[in-house]
Structure formats: structure tokens, C-alpha cells
Amino acid sequence: MSLWERKKIQTVSWKIRVEKSFIYFSEKFYKISVKIAHYSLFMSENETKKEEIIISPVPENKNTTNLEEYNTEHIKTKLQEILEFFRDLAIILAVVIVVRTFIAAPFQISGSSMEESYHDGEFILVNKFSYARIDSPSWTDFGVVKVGDPIRGDVVILRPHASNGKEYYIKRVIGLPGDTVKFEEGNVFLKVSGKTNFVKLNEGYLSLANNGKTFLPMDVKETEFLVPEGQYFTMGDNRNNSSDSRSCFMSCSISGSTHFVSRANIVGKLFVDFGYVNIFREGGIRATGEWKWTYAPRFLSTPKDWIYPELKVN
């Protein structure tokens, strides 16, 4: 089965899983929202009737025991309502945490390393489920459960080894484990794992300013890079202004630096582009009353993945 067919099958099955998950969580969220709304209405109505309840005379046919039973039941009902509210709130928080951890998470792009494919300030949604890795407990035999791995050409969000904080980078996967990446005269050549010949990549996602201008930093002497097992070679689409695998994501002179990013540090694949609008900028909505996009949303119509047909010929 070809890479394109595997990718197509993976995409279709992923979409089915996401649609089912989305429907389930939407129904759950709707039911919880209705309960919270009912609880808020109940509290509001009881607040207005509070004094009326306090001063209501005790019916003549009720003795002290009946009154105590009535008050006890009333307190239990109130307490039950409060407990249900916090239970539903906990469920909502748990759903949000699960979704952000294993399914999808929002990000905002900061920087121009992916121009002209993606722009500074754009809001994006990252699909984490397609690259999900779950470490099963040590007492089981499952080991690491993987949903899928990055594919050559994918635009991914990663944590570079050079970042000591929680900084994330957005780059494109160029070399997979076992591939050899070569740079020559501003072009990128790739020798796929198991093949013998290098093939020049046709990178149609590059702008005219970057096409044929992929160079290595002055302090990097190697021109060929064999990607180790469990590692990936990534680059930004703005080759003239991107800290990526070529420069070890910062500087190759730093101790422990490497040209590669480990599989564990790849968070997810870019899924949706929501664009960017600055409502506070001059001439924006505050001044004109009109909603003007700095970058209009493109949703799924972005170069978030790329297939290199020239590699199939080799």
C-alpha cells in the first residue's frame, strides 16, 4: 500500500473517530449546561421567596415533629442540588482536560518562521489525537500505545530540546527516522530509508522568496543528516528566518544540542486555521464599527500537509 493510500485511510478513520467523540461530548456538555441553567433559575426563584418561606405560619395540622421533618427534607433537597451542581462542574472540567490533553488544543502562532503558509498572530487548533502516545501502567503488557506517527510533510507543533521553558515551535516534518536529508545549492534532497538515491524535493509550499534558498548556518559544516530512530528532521517554511533542525533550533554550539526532534516532543498536527483579527488596532472595529480580519480564517484549506510524488518514483 502506498504512502498516499495509507495517509488517506488514516485521515478517514481519524475523521470518523473525531466526529463520534465530538457528538458524544457535545451531548454531554448540553445536558450539563441545562442542569446548570435549571440550578441557577432555582436559586434565583428561591432567593426571591426566601422571606416568604421564613415568615409563613406553621399549618395548624402540623406538629413540631412534622415541621422538623419538613425542614430536614428541605435541607436535603438544597444540599443535593448543590452537590449535583459541583458534580456537573467537575465533569465539565474533566472533559476539558481530557480534550486538551489527548484530542485537541488551541494555539496562537508567534513569529514568522512559517510564512507564507502561516502568519504571525493566527489562531490554530492542533490535532493531538492523531499523534497520541499513552504510556500504559507498568503492570500491563501494552507498553506505549500509539495512535499514529508524524508523516513527511506534516505541519506539527513541537517542543524543541533547546527550550528550557514551555515554548512551542511550529515546523514542517522533512525527514523521518532512517531518512537522509542533504542540502545542496539552496535545495533540499532526500534519500528515503531503504533507498539508494537522493531526490530533490519539490516544496510547493515555499514562497518565491524562499524557493531554492534553503541554506545551512555558517557554523554547521555537515551537509547530510541521517535521521536517527525515534527522531525527526523539521524546518520552517520561511527558510530565511526559521530556527529549526538546521541550526539545532537555537545554536549547534550549545552542549547537548542536536539537529533532530524526538517523537515524544512532537505535540500534534496543525488541524484548523482560524485566522487573526485585532479589534484594537487603528482602523479596526473600534474606529469603523467593521470587523476587519488581519488574516482571514482558512479553516482546513491550508498547506498543513504535503505529499512528495517525486519520492514515489525513486
Task: For the beta carbon of residue 70, count every other beta carbon within 10 angstroms.
Answer: 13
Of 155, 117, 130, 146, nearest to 234 by C-alpha is 155
Q: From the candidates 117, 130, 171, 269, which is the catalytic residue?
A: 171
Q: Is 251 a catalytic residue?
A: no
Of 170, 121, 126, nearest to 277 by C-alpha is 121
In the chain, alpha helices (H): 3-48, 50-55, 64-98, 285-288, 310-313
On whether the CB atoms of residues 262 and 156 are closer than 8 A, the answer is: no
How many angstroms separate the CA atoms of 212 and 203, rounded? 9
Task: For the beta carbon of residue 301, count every other beta carbon within 10 angstroms.
Answer: 8
Q: Is 171 a catalytic residue?
A: yes
- CA 164 to mean position of chain CA atoms: 20
Query: What are the DSSP calls for 108-154, one per residue?
Result: E--SSTTTTTS-TT-EEEEE-GGG-EEE--TTSS--EEES----TT-
Q: Which uninterrupted H or E stretch holds 303?
A: none
Vertex 298: Cα angle to 293 and 304 (nearest 5): 135
On whether the CB atoms of residues 162 and 208 are closer than 8 A, the answer is: no
How many angstroms separate the CA atoms of 1 and 265, rounded? 28
Of 77, 4, 83, nearest to 46 by C-alpha is 77
Q: 211: which 3 cell numbers? A: 524557493
Report the catalytic residues: 113, 171
